[in-house]
Structure 1
Amino acid sequence: MIGSGIFISPKGVLRQTNSVGMSLVVWAVCGAVAMLGSLSYAELGTMMPTSGGEFSYMKDGFGPPLAFMYSWVAVLLIKTSSLSAISTVFGQYAAEAFYSSPECPPPVYVIKMLTVTAIVLLIVINCISSKSATSLQVAMTAAKLFALVLIICVGIVRIFQGHTEYISPSVSFDGSSTRIFAYGIAFYQGLWAYDGWNQLNYAVEELQNPYKNLPRAVMIGIPLVTIVYLLTNIAYFTVLSPDDLLASNAVAVTFANRMLGPMAWIIPLCVCFSTFGASNGILFTAARLAMVCSREGHMISIVSMVNVHRKTPMAALIFEGVIAIVMVIPNDFDSLVNYFSFTSWMFYGLSCLAHIVLRFTHPEWKRPIRIPLVIPLLVVIFSIYLVLAPVIDDPSLPWLFAALFVLAGLFLYFPFVKMGLRIKPFDYITLFMQQLLQSAPSKFVAPEDDSKESTDL
């Protein structure tokens, strides 16, 4: 869950709420929503302990067409916008190392060049071998925790020194926004930082004693992350005024420049490591999801193929990476997060609605974890608010385009999946790309020998 959001989303939350106190409330509510969603997913995951996550819940709850819509949106929009957004944070923090003066902010083209460079480098690393990608992930994990612990410790010292002028309850809620629908974007920014609460459902089969450990992970992990996020935001406001935070393009860098002096470089370096690792994780899983969807006939066939020498889904990696790069060019971080959240919460809400539906359509299914139906119902209601609130507050064409993109899945499902329609030129393109990338369907690729780390092929 802890990735790039906590280092940049506080600005977006504060901008929409207009007060320190309400921004902290939004961060706490986001943690509660993530907890409720995780509890609903815990019942779904132990009831259907198979890979696929939302895809499986859509298919069993509402049928194949809606499951195809999820796979279509997840592969082409949700995963790629997430990769673009996290990589954009990397670009912003990397650029701040060269443009540290507030009077000379980094040009947009520099941030985007660094962002694209990071994505290309990650594609190369993941194409070389799955082991190199997972080793990179392990190496980058400690960086984000070190950065957050350092920020929180500085904040605690500042509180004891009496620097509470911005977090005092008597003034922290002054000027809070009264536009209820404007909070939708604030929740988008906050929930972006919590995203990942549903990822254990993709590994239920691999958990030891999942009926006990899955709810334990939810009940311990999410409250812990919520506390860390609240403490980090409080630490920011012991050093930065609301105006300072809103003026910063990289909050943690501004914080470090104020408090760490010559050692300020530690924070942006750790954030760069953290976001680079997070982007690597997104690309790794996005490529595997695209590959699985292609095997199901939901994507072009080349995406399902694996390089015969490297044993990596090279075509899927390039496919997802190129889409992410295209998304970086015209958009900024806030736009990417909004597109991601708008589409993601459609399907998070539908998954919880499927939870309710399956209680009535398949009451005979074994449910090792059984939660009150009011929990998924609350998530469904909140997801409806999240989808509608930004559109009501700021009706604009991007929301319409995002909705049309989701609905386009239905128009593609019936001719290309249900009826099996094929476009002949795509066969020649697939053959060319197969030869270029030296790839073949995974069932024809020899597995790695037992002495090596196995891959999920």
Structure 2
Amino acid sequence: SNRWTTNMDDTTEKLNLKRELGLVGAVSLIGGTMIGSGIFMSPQMVLYTIGSPGASLVVWACCGVLVILASFCYAELGTVITESGGEYIYILRTSGPVVAFMLIFSSVLFVRPAGVAGISLSFAQYAVAFFYPDCPPPVPLVKCVAAVAIVVLATVNCLNVRFSMSVQVFFMVVKVLALAVIIIGGLVMLARGHTEHFEDSFENTNLAINPIGIAFYQGLWSYDGWNNLNYVTEELKRPEVSQMNTAVR
């Protein structure tokens, strides 16, 4: 029996993920995840809660600096621990299985589903708004569209890594173009002299803890997704190159 066990151990192959994700796919994964519904919905909430255009720009800048610093930390972790799993694998290696289990338990049952539900509902709200120009869309319809979107994207990601990356790249390009139109339109308006919002731009700023916290929450929600690449580290062709280049971008 010992001989049979030894032979079985020798012939058993270790299960590994295929390294099919290159630099373009890695950047698209981060960009496509970060540029989502949040950036199209959060600016109005940040401005509404903080109270002034100047303070809202300060909030956005601070959120950006915070995310950049965190992404550099994750890039370093991704090059040192080249295993998929993101923060789960890092806590598992540093704090042990109990803390890691508590993290993944809460993440799988509460944190991740809530995030996916929020993003899907935002997408559905925009998707059906075209058909209801004069009134709010029915809530059941919004929920059904959100559920269909979740099922479709989950199916795409389960079918094939390369196909899902192609879909990710396509939608990232579309969203970047949409943002470019908005940014260029804003610059054109500034060039035409519409600078009234920058006059006394910090007037009526809400300096209380509650509005500042909500504004930062909305801003960081828009930046959410910067850490997603570390969940698929084992699928990167050259993790050290993809991690650092993505962090810089």
Q: Is the structural similarity TM-score above 0.5?
A: yes
Q: Which amino acid counterpart does residue 243 of structure 2 have in structure 1?
A: L
Within a 5 Å distance, the mapping from 1:384-403 to structure 2 comes to none
Match of 1:150 in 2: 181
Match of 1:16 in 2: 49
Q: Which amino acid counterpart does residue 215 of structure 2 have in structure 1?
A: A
Match of 2:71 in 1: 38
CA distance in 2, matches of 1:34, 1:64: 27
Cα pair distance change 1:216/1:133, threshold 3 Å: closer
**Deviation digits for residues 92-151 of structure 1, max 9, x if unmatched?**
1112201224xx333433322322232244445556x23654443343232101111111
DSSP 3-state at the match of 1:90: helix
Question: 1:154: Cα distance to partner?
Answer: 1.0
CA distance in 1, matches of 2:233, 2:167: 24
Match of 1:96 in 2: 129
Cα pair distance change 1:153/1:126, threshold 3 Å: same
CA distance in 2, matches of 1:152, 1:125: 31
- Larger relative contact order, structure 1 or 2 (CA cutoff 8 Å, min sep 6): 2
CA distance in 1, matches of 2:68, 2:157: 32
Q: Which amino acid counterpart does residue 80 of structure 1 have in structure 2?
A: P
Query: How many equivalent pairs are there?
Result: 214
Stretch deviating more after TM superposition (60-69 or 105-114)? 105-114
CA distance in 1, matches of 2:156, 2:83: 29
Within a 5 Å distance, the mapping from 1:58-457 to structure 2 comes to 58-101=91-134, 104-123=135-154, 125=156, 129-130=159-160, 133-166=164-197, 168=198, 170-205=199-234, 206-208=236-238, 210=240, 214-219=243-248, 221=249
Q: Which amino acid counterpart does residue 81 of structure 1 have in structure 2?
A: A
Q: Which amino acid counterpart does residue 105 of structure 1 have in structure 2?
A: P
DSSP 3-state at the match of 2:99: helix
CA distance in 2, matches of 1:94, 1:69: 36
Q: Which amino acid counterpart does residue 89 of structure 1 have in structure 2?
A: S
**Deviation digits for residues 137-182 of structure 1, max 9, x if unmatched?**
343232101111111111111111111212x1x3221111121243
Cα pair distance change 1:85/1:215, threshold 3 Å: same
Q: Which amino acid counterpart does residue 23 of structure 1 have in structure 2?
A: S
CA distance in 2, matches of 1:216, 1:95: 37
CA distance in 2, matches of 1:17, 1:204: 38
Two-structure CA RMSD over aligned residues (Å) = 2.3
**TM norm structure 1:** 0.43
Whether 1:4 and 2:37 are equivalent positions in the alignment is: yes
**Deviation digits for residues 309-332 of structure 1, max 9, x if unmatched?**
xxxxxxxxxxxxxxxxxxxxxxxx
CA distance in 2, matches of 1:151, 1:133: 27
Q: Which amino acid counterpart does residue 175 of structure 1 have in structure 2?
A: N
DSSP 3-state at the match of 2:196: coil
CA distance in 2, matches of 1:157, 1:120: 40
Cα pair distance change 1:47/1:11, threshold 3 Å: same
Q: Is residue 157–residue 164 contact of structure 2 (8 Å, CA) maintained in 1?
A: yes
Percent identity between the two aligned chains: 45
Cα pair distance change 1:217/1:116, threshold 3 Å: closer
Question: 1:201: Cα distance to partner?
Answer: 2.4
Cα pair distance change 1:136/1:208, threshold 3 Å: closer
Cα pair distance change 1:35/1:134, threshold 3 Å: closer
**Deviation digits for residues 244-298 of structure 1, max 9, x if unmatched?**
xxxxxxxxxxxxxxxxxxxxxxxxxxxxxxxxxxxxxxxxxxxxxxxxxxxxxxx
Q: Which amino acid counterpart does residue 94 of structure 2 have in structure 1?
A: G
Q: Is residue 85–residue 231 contact of structure 2 (8 Å, CA) maintained in 1?
A: yes
Poorly superposed stretches of 4+, deviation over 6 Å = none
Cα pair distance change 1:65/1:190, threshold 3 Å: same
